[in-house]
Amino acid sequence: MSEILFVGTLEQIRERLLQAQDILQLRATEGYPLLQPDEEWVYDTAKDERVCPVCSPHDRRVFRGDEIPGAFPSFEMIGVGEIAPRVHLDNPWLQGECRCGLSLLDAKEIITERLFQELEEVSR
Ligand SMILES: [Zn+2]
């Protein structure tokens, strides 16, 4: 388990704790910026006979976060670590709604690590 240590004079520590509080508030309201190169997103199709020939080859493929906007221009963030690629919106000849999903691997670890790094920066 990692630790964050706030050191300094009482005044410095107070200042750093207030900065840390601001970061926690910001993240609670705005969340974390995703789609960065260190993220791995795995693609899942519905795995049935209706999966189209465009979506089918993506099944279980892993994409870096920064590859997603280019690969899936109509993608939509539908939850924390959940993306609907909306492949069919980019291919007018495809019928129906794309049922595929992309999920962020180790979402909790990645988000925890980013928060930790931000807090560590203000603790020094
Ligand atoms: Zn699809």
Please, what are the averages of pLDDT over each run of 10 residues along the chain (124 residues)? 86 95 94 92 96 95 98 94 95 89 94 92 89
CA of 52 to the centre of ligand 1 (A): 7
Q: Do the domain assignments include residue 77?
A: yes
* Gap between the Cα atoms of 8 and 3, Å rounded: 16
- The structural domain count of the chain equals 2
State the residue range of the domain holding 116: 10-32+109-123
Q: Do the domain assignments include residue 85?
A: yes
pTM for the structure as a whole: 0.82
Neighbour-count burial of 107, counting CB atoms closer than 10 A to its CB (0-12 exposed, 13-18 middle, 19+ buried): middle
Tell me the C-alpha to C-alpha distance, in Å, between residue 69 and each of 33, 50, 61, 78, 85: 14, 25, 16, 14, 9
Q: Do the domain assignments include residue 5?
A: no
CA of 31 to the centre of ligand 1 (A): 27
Q: Do the domain assignments include residue 58?
A: yes
Q: Do the domain assignments include residue 3?
A: no
CA of 105 to the centre of ligand 1 (A): 19
